[in-house]
A and B are shown apart, each in its own frame.
Chain A
Amino acid sequence: MPEQLPFDRIKVADFSWIMVGPTTAKYLADHGATVVRVETERPPDRLRAAGPFKDRLPGTNRSQFFGDFNTSKLSLSLNLKNPAAVAVARRLIAWADVYIESFTPGTVDDLGIGYETARALNPSIVMASTCLMGQSGPAAAFAGYGYHAGAIAGFYEILGWPDRAPSAPWVAYTDTIAPRFLAAAIMAALDHRRRTGAGTHIDAAQLEMAVQFLAPQIMDFNVSGRVVSRNGNRSDTMAPHGAFPCSGDDQWCAIAVESDKQWDALRGVLGDPVWGRDDRFRTAEGRLRYQDEIDRHLGQWTSGRSAQEVMHLLQSVGVPAGVVQRSSDLLRDPQLAHRNFFRYMDHPEMGNIPYSGHQFRIRGYESGPRSPAPLLGQHNELVLREILGMTDDEVTEVVAAGAIA
């Protein structure tokens, strides 16, 4: 029986680039949709120019940053600055159920492929426009990355140490949040369209999606004036609660004791040391107050053991503990292996390489990437002839005009 993938009748014109739009379209692509990723060589998607590169050799088709976020898609190279390309873009929009773009607000209107045009071409189109600040407002033109939006949304302030400056998340943090909200909105719009025939235009400001994750803290400021700030790994309610040094170079195990029962279990694993019997540590209140002392003792115990050993010893008595894992650890993590998380696929230039799978699994089919990320322009012929039904003459004409680049 064919797999009957969730979105196998959905067609997507993905004009977006970098992170948020492409990741959103990837959800649809991996779960069955036909997604045409519209790119150009002038310049290529920034992710194609950012590592990791296969074997550290840079190249347009060698970045797995681009790869992981563009699986299961077809690639059409189309230089939208070329007038002949706009006609192709319009045919693609007429073909699609979903049209995603992430240009600076106003750009698609200037190009002649804005929502009004899209709706004229395709009355029930679901169009999503995503950018950092939204399509309107005084900062609409703010053209930055999730590195910037992460600071504006408040996440730098809550990362790092209280005695030091705010810390930048290593990733463009709002880019990790926005695609989940945007994908849900598009899927809901598609369901509405299926039932009513009506399309819609989604204005998805990455800032407004990310700020949802700090809603209680913003409300708290509005009510009490309290301003949340970074506090290392400390918790208001739990202690010990931190990353503890383990044997080896820069190896750590996170330990978070939630209850007195877990505290007793932890002491048991340590062999009931004398320091642990201290009455001051019996309650959460006491452990919070004297956690520097506890951290020192616990750190001495952990530093003589591997992070894996610390995790398994504590887990054996039900204490939350987890190795601070790197990419290399994840690639051999038995739980991720059990979930078939990394999918090895053959890429024309990068060879047999792993792609990240999905954080959710729908029973009954293998949820996750179906094909490797495309080379830039890999499917030009297929898209122009088979999907858009262009004749030989039409294809020759747009190629000669320089639009396919």
Chain B
Amino acid sequence: MLSPYTVLDLTDDRGDLASMVLGDLGADVIKVEPPQGSSSRRMGPFLEDAPEAECSLHFFAFNRNKRGITLDLTREAGRRVLLRLVEKADFLIESARPGEMDEMGLGFDALRQINPRLVYVAITAFGQDGPYAGFAANDLTLAAMGGSMNLHGDPDRPPVRMTVPQVWLQASAEAAVAALTAHARMLRTGQAQFVDVSAQTAMVWTMMNAMVAHAIQGADFNRAGSMLQLGNITLPLVYECADGYLVLVLNGAALAKVVYWWVEDGIVAEEWIEAEDWPTHDVRVLQGKPVRYSLEEVVAAHQRYALGHSKQELLERGLREGVTIAAVNTVEDVARFRQLEERGYWLIAPLPDGRQVRVPGVFARLTETPMTVRRWAPKLGEHNEEILGATLGLSAQEIAAASGAAAP
């Protein structure tokens, strides 16, 4: 869908996903790395635990559908080549600290002179300016400043982030939306566009109904472990089962069915089925009206029941009987989840070391305009010759000077 467009990706590990989304949607993406390689090549997990440029699964995962070149932007030769690429580009995405691109003569105001229809997207921690724009930041501190951490973890321990870093992925996915929004505006106005993406605010949006809560209800929402907070009741979301954990909201509709399961297993007496109007149990609890069996009894019964069954078994039974039960999956369970398998989600990718691996495929299916993976992540400088030589017509010596291969 975006096949007419060229994207220059100057980001490090904070922006890989942004241009990958555009690449998955069809754009021609050129990853521009410094001579020593992007910082995302130094992010694990690594093949064979070897922290080397071609072993980073992080880099491999978020740089498909891109060609890769190296340019030394600290040198005039490198900057000159970048300017030539900018002339023909439609998008440029970078994640430098605020002001850094301007200092190199590669800021928006300089580049729009060369390409008056350029869409320039800058991804930073807090935005281009403002009191925190110069703050040191990373996944942990942005999860804190963006309000996500306060919502996560048990009340008797410190708030927590997600163990697998999420902040720059959220910001990068947002940057893809920002790029396409700005592109639509460029088409309307005929003028170059500057987009300022803030990772902090990308995280604020992950708070959903908690973000403006205090101004609306006069109180904050705070972390509650795995308890779902609904008005004046709190209900566990997570139950331990025979081989792990599952998620179930014990609302009236679910209770009307699972009460039979409890009876089958002898967890509760058969009279439970008739003694309570189960479909309205949740509403009566919420309204403080009488119930035959308390919420605590109901939760305890389900906990005892779940311990006797596997998560996959309960997921399948729930699907058959219309009870929404989710397994708490590990990445192993995700990799084996039948739905993804039968939807043909996984693709086979050749790893840099020659082995093959199953990887997530494209993020959506489109009927008339399918998304495709046309190439896997580039090796460092893999397309220097193709792009700098064949396309721009640079000599081997000029390529070496621009890409930082020759001594200064």
Contacts and interface: CB of A to CB of B under 8 A. Distances in A.
A322 B142 contact: yes
A176 B144 contact: no
A257 to B, nearest CB: 10
Most A-side CB within 10 Å, residue of B26, B181, B360: B181
A19 interface: yes
16 contacts: A53-B216, A148-B247, A151-B328, A171-B209, A173-B206, A181-B173, A182-B364, A187-B183, A188-B25, A203-B366, A207-B339, A221-B331, A324-B144, A353-B212, A354-B212, A362-B182
Contacts of B216: 51-54, 64, 350, 353
Interface in B222-238: 222-228, 230-231, 237-238
Contacts of A143: 324
B177 interface: yes
A160 interface: yes
A221 B365 CA distance: 25
B343 interface: yes
Given A327-B210, A339-B127, A218 B182 contact: no
A92 interface: no
Interface stretch (A35-43, A245-253, A275-283): A245-253
B355 A223 contact: yes
Given A168-B238, A221-B331, A325-B147, A216 B163 contact: no
A8 interface: yes
Interface residue tally of chain B, by bracket?
Answer: 35 or more
Nearest to A58: B231
Contact of A233 (B4, B126, B147, B161): B161
B89 to A, nearest CB: 16
A212 B176 CA distance: 14
A95 interface: no
Nearest to B58: A216
Interface residues of A, number: 162
Interface stretch (B30-38, B73-81, B185-193, B388-396): B185-193
Interface stretch (A72-80, A192-200, A392-400): A192-200
Interface in B252-274: none
Interface string A341-362: 1100000001001111111111
B207 to A, nearest CB: 7
Nearest to A64: B216
A378 interface: no
Contacts of A350: 216
Interface in B82-111: none
B116 interface: no
B196 A361 contact: yes
A200 B26 CA distance: 15
B324 A331 contact: no
Interface string A232-265: 1111110001111100001011111010001000
A200 B369 contact: yes
Interface in A213-227: 213-224, 226-227
A100 interface: no
Given A158-B163, A222-B335, A226-B45, A320 B205 contact: no
A361 B344 CA distance: 37
B29 interface: no
B297 interface: no
A53 B209 CA distance: 10
A156 B213 contact: no
A175 B208 contact: yes
B47 A221 contact: no
B145 interface: yes
B331 A217 contact: yes
Interface in B60-80: 60-62
Contacts of B207: 171, 327
B142 to A, nearest CB: 7
A172 interface: yes
Contacts of A156: 226, 238, 245, 247, 328-329
Given A147-B237, A185-B25, A362-B181, 11 more contacts: A8-B188, A52-B212, A137-B342, A151-B327, A164-B154, A184-B21, A202-B364, A213-B164, A223-B47, A359-B174, A361-B198
Interface in A309-341: 315, 318-331, 333-336, 338-339, 341
A370 interface: no
